[in-house]
Structure 1
Amino acid sequence: MEKQPAGQDGHSDEEILGLLDENVREWCIRQLEGRFTPPQRMAVPLIHDGKNVLICSPTGSGKTLSAFLATLRAECEVVLVTGSHDTMLPSVAGGTVERYDRGGYTVVHGDQAVDDHGTLIIGHDHPAIEIDMARFPCFLYGQGAVRGKDLIVMPAANPLSPGVIINAARSQDFLSPILRRVDAGSLQPVVEVDGEAVVLPPLAGIRRFA
């Protein structure tokens, strides 16, 4: 196993392996040859230390594995939030919840209205935006958009899901009752470009070019 030096890409491979549980470490050596991607070398130590981490990197760069590696080491609880089209999830996963509240955040699928909540994180509509005839999955962010609480709408996690184009979207165009009740024009798309999060103007401004 070749040692990966630390640098701008984060910690070395050996340092990452040293953070992991013995069984997880053996799996990484066997399946990954003990090598990690730059996002993993940067994110795993932070997640391991209990930091909140947002990873923006290309598909296939190891974002999901970063979270799982650190979660398995830290023995954190994995919570699956069910939704309207997850009918098989409870039987496969062994249990789900309709909402998850932690640290001032509320995670729900988004197919039903929510009354009492913190910063709201939802899916359901899974936005995407078209730029120069290319489609980009995107987040939607609304500061104080729902009863004074921030709103974050997640893009589709599955690369096979194209997402819903939101360039010209208005409140009534969304499926989620939560989004139908907010001023869609104030929501800002956030896209990942070359590993960086790019915050675009609110939808009200983007509509003029749609």
Structure 2
Amino acid sequence: MSALSGVTVRDLAIHVNGVLVVSDLHVGRGAASNVELPVGEGDDMVERFDALCAEFEPEEVVIAGDLLHSFESVPGPVRETLAGLNEAARNVGARIVVTPGNHDTLLEAVWSGPTEAEYRIGDTVICHGHVEPQSDAERYIVGHDHPTIEIEGRRRPCLLTGDGVYRGGNLVMLPSFNKLVQGVCINEMSAGDFMSPLVTDADALAPTVRDSDAGETLSFPPLGEFRHRL
């Protein structure tokens, strides 16, 4: 099995084995910014999430950590956004499972649905990626670092994938689903620059970019072969 075996990339999410996976929603991030009507959160996030649920009709949705943004309080709009996400999943008969991330310290205050430190789909384990998983798997799907890549002066959110790069298993790192999150530019990053301990060899990771305007998924060589072209 390769890292992207059976994976469909849409927007800033993936669909695999009947499960929709999104990461790093950071709901409430807009309240921490000076942007009056932040794009990427609130209605925009719910609409994009609803479109993904309508397209794939997943059996389950897994949020791979950092559903929330703030460590200290829950801004008012957060509950409304979470209600919209729940309704979108409920409309297609899916349940949402959260694998809590390091930002989710207040999760219990706003989330009564199921949570799992690590969520397994067959040979795949989904977790946030801020700590090493306890489970062995053929593939790990994580978030946490919010990868982006700069191509011709434009930064784009990207997936990072590698075969056999973590404990002999494959790795898929998702970008943040929140368009307000700037992310980190991975062009010149080494393994030590990543926050996730699952990244042990940055050169072995290949970027994948979804061009929603063109309806295309663009796959690039591993960074070790590709950096000099960027």
TM (normalized to structure 1)? 0.66
Aligned residues: CA RMSD:
2.9
Q: What is residue 161 of structure 1 aligned with on the other side?
A: 181
Q: Secondary structure at 2:225's aligned position in 1?
A: helix
Give the match for residue 27 of structure 2.
none
Q: Quick one: structure 1 residues 196 and 53, their matched pair in 2 at CA, closer, same or farther if it must change by over 3 Å?
A: farther
Q: CA deviation at 1:87?
A: 1.8
The aligned residue for residue 116 of structure 1 is 135
Q: 1:137 and 2:141 equivalent?
A: no
Compare the two structures and name the one with the higher strand fraction: 2
2:147 to 116, 127, 135: 127
TM superposition shift of 1:164: 0.8
Deviations 1:10-36 (A, max 9, x none): xxxxxxxxxxxxxxxxxxxxxxxxxxx
Query: 1:169 Cα deviation (Å)?
Result: 1.1
Q: Secondary structure at the match of 1:205?
A: helix
Please tell me whether Structure 1 or Structure 2 has the larger radius of gyration of its CA atoms.
Answer: 1
Q: Which structure is higher in RCO with an 8 Å CA cutoff and minimum separation 6?
A: 2
Tell me the secondary structure at the aligned position of residue 87 of structure 1: helix
Find the partner of 2:99 among 81, 93, 106: 81
Structure 2: give runs of 5+ residues left out of the alignment: 1-9, 23-39, 58-88
User: After superposition, what is the alpha-carbon deviation per residue over 1:60-119, rounded to whole angstroms, capped at 9, x for unaligned?
Assistant: 695411344534355333101110012222321125322111222111111101242321
> In 2 relative to 1, CA 174–159 (structure 1 residues): closer, same or farther, beyond 3 Å?
same
Match of 2:196 among 168, 171, 176: 176
Q: Secondary structure of the residue that 1:204 maps to in structure 2?
A: helix
Matched residues, number: 159
Q: Is the 8 A contact 1:128 1:165 kept in 2?
A: yes
Task: Give how far 1:143 is off.
Answer: 1.1
The residue matched to 1:98 in structure 2 has which SS? Answer: coil
Q: Structure 1 residues 97, 115: closer, same or farther in 2, change over 3 A?
A: closer
Give the percent of matched residue pairs that are identical in Structure 1 and Structure 2: 34
In structure 2, the CA distance between the partners of 1:177 and 1:51, relative to structure 1 (3 Å rule), is closer
Query: What runs of 5+ residues in structure 1 fail to find an aligned partner?
Result: 1-38, 40-45
Shift >4 Å, 4+ stretches: 50-55, 59-63
